[in-house]
C-alpha cells in the first residue's frame, strides 16, 4: 500500500502507538495522526538477547502504560511496529533478524494486535525511520531519496516518486548487506563477508577503533577498549583525535562507495544519514562526498544533497503516522 502524507479526513485528535525495536534500545511512543510525538518510553534491550515472547510482553506492558496516560482526546486507534532484519510487512511476520537472536518467523502483528485489541501494521525499522524524516525531518521537500541509519547495523529506506519502495519479497533497501569488495574480510551478522555494515555501523566503528588501539597507534583516547562507541569517537574527533578521524574516514569512503551505486541506479537527489553513528556526520560527510564526486554520473555533485537526519529516535515514531494513515487507520 503506497504511503501518502497524512490526510485530514480522520480525526486529528486520535493517535497511534508505535514501537521501534533497535539492536540496543527499544523506543515506544504515542504519536498523533499528523506526526506529532506525544509521549515516548525508551528502554534498553536485555543483555544476552531477549526472545520474542519476553520482548513482545515487555513492549505490550509499556504500551498499556502509554495508553493509560493518554488523555481522552488521544486514545490510540492502531499500532505500528518497526522491526530490524528480514520481515514480511504484508503478513506481519519477522522472518529472521541478525540483531534479534532467536527471532524466526514471529507473527508479531497478530500477537501485538490480540494483546492490545487494536489493529497493527509491521514495517522494517529503517523504512519507518525514512518515512519520518521524509514527512517532518531532513527528507522534507524531496521525493527521490534514501535514508540510511547507522546503528547496531546499517539499514535504509527508499522513497521513490514520493512513495516508500517496498519491493516484492521482504522489505527492500537492505543497503547494509551490499558487499564492499574483496579488500573487506570481516564477517557480518548476516553470515556473509564484507557487507557495508561491517564498516559503517556504529558497532563496526567501535571495532575499528579497538583495532587501532590494539595496534598501539597514536590516539587521545586513554580508557579501556570496552568504553569505545560511536558517541565517544565523535567527541574525540572534535578534539582532532587521529583514531576517530581515521574511523570516520573509513565509514565515509564505504558509504560513498555504496551510495554512489544507489544514486546512479535510481537518480536520487538526497541521502539522509540517521541513527547513533550519524552523530559524527561532520567527519563522515567529506570523505563520502569526495568518493561520490568521483563516481556520480546521474547528477553533478552540487545537485545532490547528503544531510544529517533531524528527528533522531523520534523518526520511526513520526513514520508510524504515515504508515498507519496510508493503511486506512
Ligand atoms: Zn551482511
Residue 235 φ then ψ, to 5°: -65, -40
- Whether the pLDDT of residue 148 is over 50: the answer is yes
In a domain, 7, yes or no: no
In a domain, 110, yes or no: yes
Say which residue the cell 527528507 belongs to: 139
In a domain, 6, yes or no: no
Residue 8's pLDDT is 44
Ligand 1 centre to CA of 229 (Å) is 20
Ligand 1 centre to CA of 186 (Å) is 10
pLDDT-derived band at 234, boundaries 50, 70, 90: very high
Strands of the chain, DSSP E:
15-21, 25-32, 37-44, 76-83, 86-88, 93-96, 104-106, 120-124, 145-150, 154-160, 163-164, 270-274, 305-308
Ligand 1 centre to CA of 187 (Å) is 8
- Do 281 and 318 fall into the same domain? no
In a domain, 3, yes or no: no
- Do 59 and 188 fall into the same domain? no
Ligand 1 centre to CA of 109 (Å) is 25
Residue with the bigger pLDDT between 289 and 47: it is 289
pLDDT tens digit sequence for 296-327: 999 999 999 999 999 999 999 999 999 999 99
Ligand 1 centre to CA of 98 (Å) is 9
Ligand 1 centre to CA of 97 (Å) is 11
In a domain, 2, yes or no: no
pLDDT tens digit sequence for 72-100: 878 899 999 999 888 999 999 999 877 77
**What is the residue range of 182's domain?**
140-310
pLDDT-derived band at 158, boundaries 50, 70, 90: very high
pLDDT tens digit sequence for 175-233: 999 999 999 999 998 899 999 999 999 999 999 999 999 999 999 999 999 999 999 99
- Whether the pLDDT of residue 68 is over 50: the answer is yes
In a domain, 207, yes or no: yes
Q: How many domains, in total, are found in the chain?
A: 2
Q: Check which CATH number belongs to the domain holding 215 and give it.
A: 3.30.420.40
0.95 cut: is pTM over it?
no
- Do 148 and 62 fall into the same domain? no
Q: Measuring CA to CA, which residue among 204, 197, 198, 152 is closest to residue 24? A: 152
In a domain, 121, yes or no: yes
Residue 2's pLDDT is 46
- Do 118 and 244 fall into the same domain? no
- Do 20 and 46 fall into the same domain? yes
- Do 288 and 163 fall into the same domain? yes
- Do 156 and 299 fall into the same domain? yes
Ligand 1 centre to CA of 158 (Å) is 18
DSSP-based helix, strand, coil % in the chain, nearest 5: 40, 20, 35
pLDDT tens digit sequence for 116-135: 999 999 999 999 999 999 99
- Do 121 and 199 fall into the same domain? no
- Do 158 and 56 fall into the same domain? no
- Do 73 and 115 fall into the same domain? yes
Residue 289's pLDDT is 98
Ligand 1 centre to CA of 304 (Å) is 27
Ligand 1 centre to CA of 220 (Å) is 32
Ligand 1 centre to CA of 321 (Å) is 30
- Do 19 and 87 fall into the same domain? yes
In a domain, 9, yes or no: no
Ligand 1 centre to CA of 224 (Å) is 28
- Do 112 and 37 fall into the same domain? yes
Residue 11's pLDDT is 60
- Whether the pLDDT of residue 7 is over 60: the answer is no
Q: Average of pLDDT values for 36-41? A: 95
Amino acid at each position: 500500500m503506497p504511503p501518502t502524507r497524512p490526510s485530514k479526513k480522520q480525526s486529528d485528535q486520535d493517535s497511534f502507538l508505535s514501537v521501534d525495536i533497535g539492536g540496543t534500545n527499544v523506543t515506544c511512543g504515542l504519536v498523533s495522526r499528523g506526526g506529532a510525538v506525544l509521549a515516548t518510553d525508551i528502554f534498553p534491550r536485555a543483555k544476552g538477547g531477549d526472545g520474542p515472547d519476553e520482548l513482545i510482553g515487555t513492549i505490550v506492558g509499556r504500551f498499556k502504560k502509554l495508553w493509560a496516560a493518554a488523555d481522552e482526546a488521544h486514545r490510540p486507534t492502531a499500532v505500528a511496529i518497526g522491526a530490524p532484519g528480514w520481515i514480511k510487512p504484508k503478513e506481519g511476520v519477522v522472518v529472521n533478524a541478525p540483531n534479534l537472536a532467536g527471532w524466526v518467523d514471529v507473527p508479531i502483528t497478530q500477537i501485538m494486535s490480540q494483546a492490545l485489541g487494536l489493529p497493527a501494521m509491521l514495517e522494517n525499522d529503517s523504512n519507518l525511520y525514512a518515512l519520518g524524516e521524509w514527512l517532518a525531518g531532513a527528507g522534507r521537500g524531496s521525493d527521490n531519496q534514501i535514508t540510511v541509519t547507522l546503528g547496531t547495523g546499517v539499514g535504509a529506506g527508499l522513497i521513490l516518486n514520493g512513495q516508500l519502495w517496498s519491493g516484492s519479497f521482504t522489505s527492500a533497501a537492505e543497503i547494509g548487506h551490499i558487499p564492499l569488495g574483496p579488500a573487506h574480510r570481516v564477517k557480518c551478522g548476516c553470515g556473509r563477508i564484507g557487507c557495508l555494515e561491517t564498516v559503517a555501523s556504529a558497532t563496526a566503528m567501535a571495532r575499528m577503533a579497538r583495532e587501532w588501539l590494539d595496534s598501539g597507534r597514536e590516539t587521545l583516547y586513554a580508557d579501556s577498549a570496552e568504553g569505545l562507541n560511536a558517541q565517544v569517537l565523535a567527541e574525540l574527533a572534535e578534539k582532532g583525535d587521529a583514531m576517530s578521524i581515521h574511523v570516520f574516514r573509513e565509514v565515509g569512503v564505504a558509504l560513498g562507495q555504496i551510495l554512489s551505486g544507489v544514486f546512479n541506479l535510481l537518480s536520487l537527489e538526497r541521502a539522509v544519514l540517521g541513527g547513533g553513528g550519524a552523530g559524527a556526520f561532520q567527519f563522515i560527510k567529506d570523505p563520502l562526498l569526495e568518493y561520490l564526486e568521483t563516481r556520480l554520473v546521474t547528477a553533478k555533485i552540487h545537485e545532490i544533497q547528503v544531510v544529517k537526519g533531524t528527528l533522531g529516535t523520534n523518526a520511526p515514531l513520526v513514520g508510524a503516522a504515515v504508515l498507519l494513515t496510508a493503511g486506512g487507520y
